Amino acid sequence: MDTTSIRHDWTVKEARAIYELPLTELIHRAQTVHRAHHPADAVQLCTLLSIKTGACPEDCAYCPQSSKYETEVQAEKLLSVDEVLASARKARDAGASRFCMGAAWRGPKSGSEQFERVLQMVRGVRELGLEACATLGMLTDEQARKLKEAGLTAYNHNIDTSKEFYGQIITTRQFEERLETLRAVSDAGIRICSGGIIGMGEAIGDRIAMLVTLANLDPHPESVPINALVAVAGTPLEGRDPVHPIEMARMCATARILMPKAMVRLSAGRTEMSEEAQLLCIVAGANSIFYGEKLLTTGNPEVEADLEMMRRAGLRALVPADAEAGREAPETRELPSAAQAR
């Protein structure tokens, strides 16, 4: 197997054959690709913060923040720059290297005080020495350029599922609009973070088609978050069966093989997974996690538990290469002590 070539012409058939390999073979292949492009002993720690929670006009069936569904999420106004930077400082001191800010918007309003505030947040996060990521919904070219000027490292915008299944999950925007925002982000010189969710009732073929869409973007996304649905009460997807951890591991491994250089992020759903299952995903090629007690509105493993898991497995903190920041190669760092992380 050629572990170094980067391809943008994957077919669904090829990707499915990879996904369905015997697990032992799949993991061997994913590890081989992983080691050709990344340190084998380190995981990137990214901390999420919901900077504007709830009351979103979109109807994403998985999302507790949509105004269309009655959930326990209480709508909140956009946080202040000081509040966000206090959280970012705490995340940095706890060992995170990336800080990701999420807003429950269809998209930002150009020229608004709110968008200007987000730009200030991005500048502030960068000044703290952290990578800055944001997920604010659809962007125009001009908004993407402004975020780039402010120093944004990456923009998260998930395609979520296959083009075919998309309409069953979201009706207030189209799959093509997602791709259009990804194009604007990429044109502005911001790195793309894009992945999806499994466990929403989609077929295996939809999961594969989603990975193939991402893998055929040129360049590949810098990060690919693989989320297991968090089935929140009040959303249309409440009560869905949990995703089997082996399916998460297969998704991580397939993403790793299709997109060798990407950071594959084991994202939502970790609270439902055993430590062994999470480590299997890491062995299968995931090399990034969300680190901190909360995702956006739902829970995530305790910081201490994540540090213990990583220590037991002999893993370090990964800081990806970033030529703009003067890091020609990825760095690995000591994990913080539990006291530093508190």
Count of alpha carbons within 13 angstroms of residue 8, beta-carbon side: 6
Binding-residue total with ligand DTB (CB under 6 A): 16
Options 28-36, 61-69, 206-214, 240-248: segment touching ligand SF4 (CB under 6 A): 61-69
Q: Which of 29, 126, 193, 207 is catalytic?
A: 193
Q: Which is nearer to ligand DTB, 195 or 292 (CB)?
A: 195
Minimum separation from the CB atom of position 13 to ligand SF4 (A): 31
Alpha-carbon span 275 to 106, nearest angstrom: 35
Burial class (CB in 10 A: 0-12, 13-18, 19+), 67: middle
Q: How far is the CB of 296 from ligand SAM (least distance, A)?
A: 5
Determine the straight-line distance between the first and last CA of the chain, rounded to whole angstroms: 44
Considering 63, 92, 178, 252, which one is annotated as catalytic?
63
Sign of CA dihedral 85, 63, 262, 22: positive
160 near ligand SAM (CB under 6 A): yes
Phi/psi of residue 299, nearest 5 degrees: -80, 165
CA distance 51 to 228: 22
Binding partner of 66, given ligand SAM, ligand DTB, ligand SF4, none, CB within 5-8 angstroms per partner class? ligand SF4
Catalytic residue among 46, 100, 252, 281: 100
Question: Residue 182 in contact with residue 138, Cβ under 8 Å?
Answer: no
What Rg do the C-alpha atoms of the chain give, in angstroms? Answer: 19
Q: How far is the CB of 327 from ligand SF4 (least distance, A)?
A: 31
The nearest distance, CB 158 to ligand DTB, in angstroms, is: 5
Interface of this chain with ligand SAM, residues 279 to 338, rule: CB under 6 A: 296
Q: Does 206 help bind ligand SF4 (rule: CB under 6 A)?
A: no
Instruction: State which of residues 44, 66, 87, 158 lies at the interface with ligand DTB (CB under 6 A).
Output: 158
Instruction: For residue 320, say if its preceding peptide bond is cis, omega within 30 degrees of 0.
Output: no
Query: Which one from 46, 56, 252, 281 is the annotated catalytic residue?
Result: 56
**Burial class of residue 322, CB neighbours in 10 A (0-12, 13-18, 19+):** middle
Residues 6+ apart with CB under 8 A from 6: 220, 260, 261
Place of tokens 């084998």: 40
- Does residue 252 carry a catalytic annotation? no
| β-strands 331-333, 316-319 pairing | antiparallel
In sequence order, what are the residues at sequence separation of 6 or more whose Cβ sits closer than 8 angstroms to the Cβ of residue 231? Answer: 62, 199, 237, 238, 239, 240, 242
Q: Is 157 in the site for ligand SAM (CB under 6 A)?
A: yes
Kindly state whether residue 202 participates in binding ligand SAM, applying the rule CB under 6 A: no
Q: Within 65-124, which residues bind ligand SAM (CB under 6 A)?
A: 102, 104-105
Which stretches of the chain bind ligand SAM, using CB under 6 A? 56, 62-63, 102, 104-105, 135, 137, 157-158, 160, 197, 227, 229-230, 232, 268, 296
Catalytic amino acids? 56, 60, 63, 100, 133, 193, 265
Which stretches of the chain bind ligand DTB, using CB under 6 A? 48, 64, 102, 135, 156, 158, 195, 225, 227, 230, 267-268, 295-298
